[in-house]
């Protein structure tokens, strides 16, 4: 067992000595079997939420209506969820009602894929009711039970499926694939925020192209904002098979560039991402277009920031295009300011020094000073800036 499970064993033991069953479940068990790093330790139990709260002194009700209680154990926290079955699903995402049960088998039946339906006992025994170990060995992604039922219950499982392909380098079992393709239209019922999370994880995975190809093959792209009528373009990604994106901005920026988007803000608004992320995408797209026609300039660095320039250059390198990382490094060392707030003289000080009245004129002058400093025409020093203003015909006589 990994250290994270060993550390949590006293939690399982305390539940068991109280007369209930308790197991490690979910993706963490799968990742242990694949020798992958685990992130969350999830525990399932036959104890009902009220009974869990009686067993442990320090708990928090984080999702008690769905059977989940957070147990505080020193500096660690563990989500303890009661075995449950789920009633009819509403909006293809959430069950209308959950029922707590005492049998592990009933709980595992509601899982999405066989490789996520394992339970691990405190003695190291793997409970595998759906032949997930065979699927794990064959690197196959297969839905638990009837695939159509699983995707009709929760259509987001379609996105999770292609994401698991990308992260684990697995292939889809044929019936699971056909069900995903038949029911891809149900993604239109799922909140775009949840779809974004899954697609974002897919794009940053080691085998993202495998997952993305599957996304296109099952026609899921037809139900994604901005992708619906662009399947042909999405099929022509000009990147090496094992290329891995550096981060989300690079991944989404490249996709939008391939789709012909000049400004990503409108489309990103449809995906309901943060304003900061949409702005970063816009900077990336602008930098990419500029790099296609010329080497980057100091003004490009100032406007789009070093991170965007490096992300673009990295993609140029991956596509076998000419690159010059050293040039970007020289620009970075040369640039005097990263923001106009770093200019050593304020607009107010200039107005006072030269008796300039408020108005659009001072804004225009300060912008000229800003860009002169950026391109290296003017040193960011009070004497130089005041001399720059003094030498202008409009304000020099006011000194």
* Residue pLDDT, tens place only, 347-395: 999 999 888 888 888 999 999 999 999 999 999 999 999 999 988 756 6
Residues in the chain: 399
Q: Where is the binding site, in residues?
A: 27, 30, 40, 42, 111, 154, 157, 160, 163
Provide the percentage of residues in the chain whose pLDDT is more than 70: 95
Mean pLDDT computed over 326-348: 95
- Contacts for 70 with CB less than 8 Å, ≥ 6 apart: 59, 60, 61, 62, 77, 78, 79, 80
b/e string for 342-378 if b means 16 or more Cβ within 10 A? ebebebeebbebbebeeeeebeebbeebbebbbeeeb
pLDDT of 25: 93
Pairing of strands 98-100, 119-120: unpaired
Nearest-angstrom CA–CA distance, 371 and 386: 15
Nearest-angstrom CA–CA distance, 212 and 226: 15
Do 182 and 188 contact (CB within 8 A), yes or no? no
Provide the percentage of residues in the chain whose pLDDT is more than 90: 72
| Count of CB atoms situated within 10 Å of the CB of 228 | 11
pLDDT of 173: 97
| Count of CB atoms situated within 10 Å of the CB of 44 | 23
Pairing of strands 171-172, 140-141: parallel
Q: Where is the binding site for CTP, in residues?
A: 27, 30, 111, 154, 157, 160, 163
- Of 61-65, 68-72, 101-105, which gets the smallest average pLDDT? 61-65
pLDDT at 277 over 60: yes
Q: Where is the binding site for Mg(2+), in residues?
A: 40, 42
Q: Which residue has the higher pLDDT, 24 or 239?
A: 24
Mean pLDDT computed over 102-106: 89
pLDDT at 204 over 60: yes
In DSSP terms, 77 is beta-bridged to 72
Q: What is the pLDDT of residues 236-254, one digit of tens each?
A: 777 888 899 999 999 999 9
Q: Where is the binding site for ATP, in residues?
A: 27, 30, 111, 154, 157, 160, 163
Angle between helices 298-318 and 248-258 (to 10 degrees): 80
pLDDT at 95 over 90: no
Mean pLDDT of the chain: 90
pLDDT of 336: 96
pLDDT of 97: 58
pLDDT of 264: 82
């Amino acid at each position: 067992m990994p250290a994270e499970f060993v550390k949590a064993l006293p939690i399982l033991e305390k539940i068991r000595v109280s007369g209930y069953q308790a197991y490690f479940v979910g993706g963490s068990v799968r990742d242990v079997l694949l020798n992958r790093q685990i992130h969350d330790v999830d525990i399932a139990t036959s104890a009902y939420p009220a009974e869990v709260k009686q067993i442990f002194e320090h708990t928090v009700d984080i999702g008690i209506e769905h059977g989940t209680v957070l147990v505080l154990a020193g500096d660690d926290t563990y989500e303890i969820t009661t075995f449950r079955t789920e009633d009819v699903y509403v909006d293809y995402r959430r069950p209308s009602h959950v029922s707590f049960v005492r049998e592990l088998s009933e709980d595992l039946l509601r899982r999405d894929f066989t490789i996520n339906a394992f339970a691990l006992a405190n003695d190291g025994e793997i409970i595998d009711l759906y032949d997930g170990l065979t699927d794990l060995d064959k690197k196959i992604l297969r839905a638990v039970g009837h695939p159509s039922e699983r995707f009709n219950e929760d259509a987001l499982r379609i996105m999770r499926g292609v994401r698991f392909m990308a992260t684990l380098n697995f292939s889809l079992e044929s019936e699971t694939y056909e069900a995903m393709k038949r029911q891809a239209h149900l993604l239109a019922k799922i909140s775009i925020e949840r779809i974004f999370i899954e697609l974002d994880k897919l794009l940053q995975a080691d085998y993202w192209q495998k997952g993305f190809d599957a996304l296109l093959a099952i026609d899921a792209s037809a139900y994604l904002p901005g992708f619906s009528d662009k399947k042909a373009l999405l099929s022509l990604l000009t990147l090496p098979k094992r290329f891995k994106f550096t981060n989300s901005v690079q991944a989404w920026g490249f996709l939008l560039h391939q789709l012909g988007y000049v400004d990503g803000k409108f489309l990103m608004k449809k995906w309901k991402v943060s304003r900061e992320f949409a702005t970063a995408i816009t900077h990336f797209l602008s930098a990419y277009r500029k790099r296609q026609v010329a080497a980057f300039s100091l003004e490009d660095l100032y406007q789009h920031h070093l991170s965007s320039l490096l992300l673009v250059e990295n993609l140029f390198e991956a596509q076998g295009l000419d690159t010059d990382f050293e040039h970007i490094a020289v620009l970075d060392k040369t640039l005097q300011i990263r923001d106009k707030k770093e200019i050593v003289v304020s607009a107010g000080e200039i107005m006072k020094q030269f008796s300039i009245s408020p108005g659009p004129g001072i804004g225009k002058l300060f912008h000229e000073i800003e860009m002169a400093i950026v391109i290296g025409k003017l040193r960011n020093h009070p004497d130089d800036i005041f001399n720059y203003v003094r030498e202008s015909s409009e304000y020099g006589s006011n000194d």
